[in-house]
């Protein structure tokens, strides 16, 4: 889906709104500067990402590929884009650069979350506090800790456009993954929301969902959601479990309940959250019982459909 608002068109921006398995992709073009793609979606959509980019570039090369952070749904198309554009320069935030260089899928959280990403390389770092030219305009790079400790957001001051990644959506923000690892990060989320408020963008392009322009309402919703998680961290953990299940179901589309329980048992993020500090490993039967209320909650919300022994995405 191509989305254009007047200020985005003037800034040379095309947004591919991708849904929830893949992040939105932001293509930036303009005379006098390099073409750039911000975030490349999930690996299962890599071919589609490449086709969208090729169509929009209409024969022109893609010069730069930027990742706001290195979750699988934001960098899964990197490898195919790199092989398709041999002169492509890829920029990533510095925090996990060594993990990419050595290709450590555990440190990159791909294996712990049960997700996939084809190995890719990078040439330069996307450093907070720096400014870089994308298309004909200059963009500021700001740190955006919280959802991911190494994430960045991009701000174009002339048109006051913010690429907010998963730091702010129209109705919330991404799961605060450091909290799932026992690290305090809710304050980082609050600090990032304050940074966004100070930047005062007119247009926000989130990592997932539609472009929006009502910043005060989005910030109010995000802060309210954050306050609820701070008050009840278990609520955040349960939310994270449902997000991880839904993400994988988007990839599979359907799965037998027993296979889902087996996947949960071998997925570290799921086992950590499900065990809740209990040192005794959970069996597949334990997970089958554990999943029942979560799946029913997701069914009531319309996120999936249960039919006999199968779980279907909806």
The 10s digit of each residue's pLDDT in 207-239 is: 999 999 999 999 999 999 999 999 999 999 999
Fold of the 234-313 domain? Arc Repressor Mutant, subunit A (1.10.10)
* Per-residue confidence (pLDDT) for residue 255, from 0 to 100: 98
Percentage of the chain lying above the pLDDT 90 cut: 91
- Band (pLDDT 50/70/90 cuts) for residue 6 is low
Instruction: Please state the pTM of the whole predicted model.
Output: 0.95
pLDDT digits (tens, 9 = 90+) for 64-98: 999 999 999 999 999 999 999 999 999 999 999 99
Tens of pLDDT, residues 118-151: 999 999 999 999 999 999 999 999 999 999 999 9
pLDDT at 3: 45
pLDDT of residue 64: 98
The ranges assigned to domains in the chain are: 2-230, 234-313
pLDDT given for residue 57 in this prediction: 97
Q: Which listed CATH number (3.40.190.10, 3.60.15.10, 3.90.1150.10, 1.10.260.40) goes with 2-230? A: 3.60.15.10
Decide whether 2-230 matches 234-313 in CATH topology. no
Q: Quick one: pLDDT band at residue 164, thresholds 50, 70, 90? A: very high
Mean of the per-residue pLDDT values for the chain? 95
Give the number of other Cβ atoms within 10 Å of residue 73's Cβ: 29
Q: Once rounded to an integer, what is the mean pLDDT over residues 100-119? A: 97
pLDDT score recorded for residue 279: 76
Confidence at residue 275, expressed as pLDDT on a 0 to 100 scale: 87
Paired with 125 in beta bridges are 92
H-type alpha helices, the chain = 6-10, 46-57, 72-75, 78-84, 97-102, 177-180, 186-199, 215-231, 233-252, 257-265, 268-275, 284-300
pLDDT value of position 277: 74
Contact 204, 211 (CB under 8 A): yes
């Amino acid at each position: 889906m191509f989305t254009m608002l007047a200020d985005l068109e003037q800034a040379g921006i095309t947004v591919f709104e991708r849904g929830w398995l893949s992040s939105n992709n932001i293509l930036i073009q303009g005379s006098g500067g390099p073409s750039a793609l911000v975030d490349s979606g999930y690996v299962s959509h890599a071919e589609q990402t490449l086709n969208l980019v090729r169509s929009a570039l209409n024969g022109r090369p893609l010069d730069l590929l930027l990742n706001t952070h290195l979750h699988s749904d934001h960098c899964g198309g990197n490898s195919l884009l790199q092989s398709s554009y041999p002169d492509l320069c890829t920029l990533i935030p510095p925090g996990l650069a060594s993990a990419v260089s050595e290709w450590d899928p555990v440190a990159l959280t791909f294996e712990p979350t049960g997700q996939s990403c084809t190995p890719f390389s990078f040439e330069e770092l996307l450093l907070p506090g720096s400014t870089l030219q994308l298309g004909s305009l200059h963009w500021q790079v700001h740190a955006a800790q919280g959802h991911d400790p190494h994430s960045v957001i991009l701000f174009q001051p002339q048109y006051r456009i913010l690429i907010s990644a998963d730091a702010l959506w129209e109705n919330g923000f991404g799961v605060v993954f450091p909290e799932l690892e026992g690290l305090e990060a809710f304050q980082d989320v609050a600090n990032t929301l304050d940074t966004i408020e100070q930047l005062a963008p007119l247009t926000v392009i989130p990592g997932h969902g539609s472009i929006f322009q009502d910043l005060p309402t989005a910030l109010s919703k995000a802060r309210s959601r954050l306050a609820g998680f701070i008050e009840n961290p278990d609520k955040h953990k349960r939310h994270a479990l449902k997000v991880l299940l839904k993400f994988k179901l988007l990839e599979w589309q359907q799965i037998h309940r027993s296979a889902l329980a087996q996947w949960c048992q071998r997925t570290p993020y799921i086992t950590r959250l499900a065990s809740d500090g209990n040192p005794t490993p959970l069996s597949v039967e334990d997970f089958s019982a554990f999943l029942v209320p979560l799946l029913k909650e997701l069914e009531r919300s319309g996120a999936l459909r249960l039919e006999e022994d199968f779980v279907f995405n909806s």
